[in-house]
Amino acid sequence: MKIYIDGKFYDKEQAGISVFDHGLLYGDGVFEGIRVYHGKVFKLSEHITRLYASAGAIALEIPMKKREMEEAVLETVRLNRKKNGYIRLVVTRGEGTLGLDPAHCGKPTVIIIVADIQLYPEELYKKGVKIITASTRRIPPECLDPRIKSLNYLNNILAKIEARRSGAMEALMLTTQGLVAECTADNIFVVKGGKLLTPHPCKGALDGVTMRTVFEIAKARGIECSEADLAQYDVYTADECFITGSGAELVPVIEIDDRTVSDGKPGPLTLALIEDFRRLVAA
């Protein structure tokens, strides 16, 4: 494995950053998780655009043009000869002092890792997963806009711990007002009356690249899609439910908080969208 760090490639065993890097010390930085399918990087431009938007929102100036970043990602994929895999693109504030002030940091650190990934066993895409609602609430947008994909994921990690301890693979996170936000690492969709609904990014959900892709393929089927305020009631009483993410892709949800979604099987629309998505990435 070859890892890109600030314009150079290192073997995994030699790859490292300073212990004074503010990405390590404070979670000060942004990242993207990107998929590689059949040698092609999926939605690279969209991911790079979101990366730079996240960086701009936290006043982090990435020391590369967008096109240069895209080329660095593609070169790292080529060097690792990865036909199918996962890219973790990270930009930290860079090396600084032990103080919180980012003004003491020098040049930001750019890291690109290309590796294998399989978040869910294949059978769960056919049988579905069970999730719970975490007691850990999503950080309010008034405190940190959820559209910023930052390195500080402690909020989500605590919810993930709850999920694992309860025997579930994922956890639903609510806003401080009790609305549905997202899962720990995925967006969530419900199907009600033939319509596809997902929480609005301004209400606590990441503006997901896979989420937007689902909108595209659903609209191509003539399915009405919208962002909406959703309560737990809407998820409990959904006709279908599924989660989406770059790593997860589309995974059916068949049970939430011991409540069976519809008949307890992945719904026909969910399964159709999974097939459409797989055809898209295979093209």
Distance of alpha carbon 109 from alpha carbon 90, whole angstroms: 8
Distance of alpha carbon 247 from alpha carbon 265, whole angstroms: 22
φ/ψ of 229, rounded to 5, equals -75, 120
Assess whether 149 carries a catalytic annotation.
yes
Give the 3-state secondary structure of the chain. CEEEECCEEEECCCCCCCCCEHHHHHCCEEEEEEEEECCEECCHHHHHHHHHHHHHHCCCCCCCCHHHHHHHHHHHHHHHCCCCEEEEEEEECCECCCCCCHHHCCCCEEEEEEECCCCCCCCHHHHCEEEEECCCCCCCCCCCCCCCCECCCHHHHHHHHHHHHCCCCEEEEECCCCCEEEECCCEEEEEECCEEEECCHHHCCCCCHHHHHHHHHHHHCCCCEEECCCCHHHHHCCCEEEEEECCCEEEEEEEECCEECCCCCCCHHHHHHHHHHHHHHHC
Distance of alpha carbon 130 from alpha carbon 125, whole angstroms: 12
- Of the residues 43, 149, 160, 203, only one is catalytic, namely 149
- Residues involved in catalysis: 149
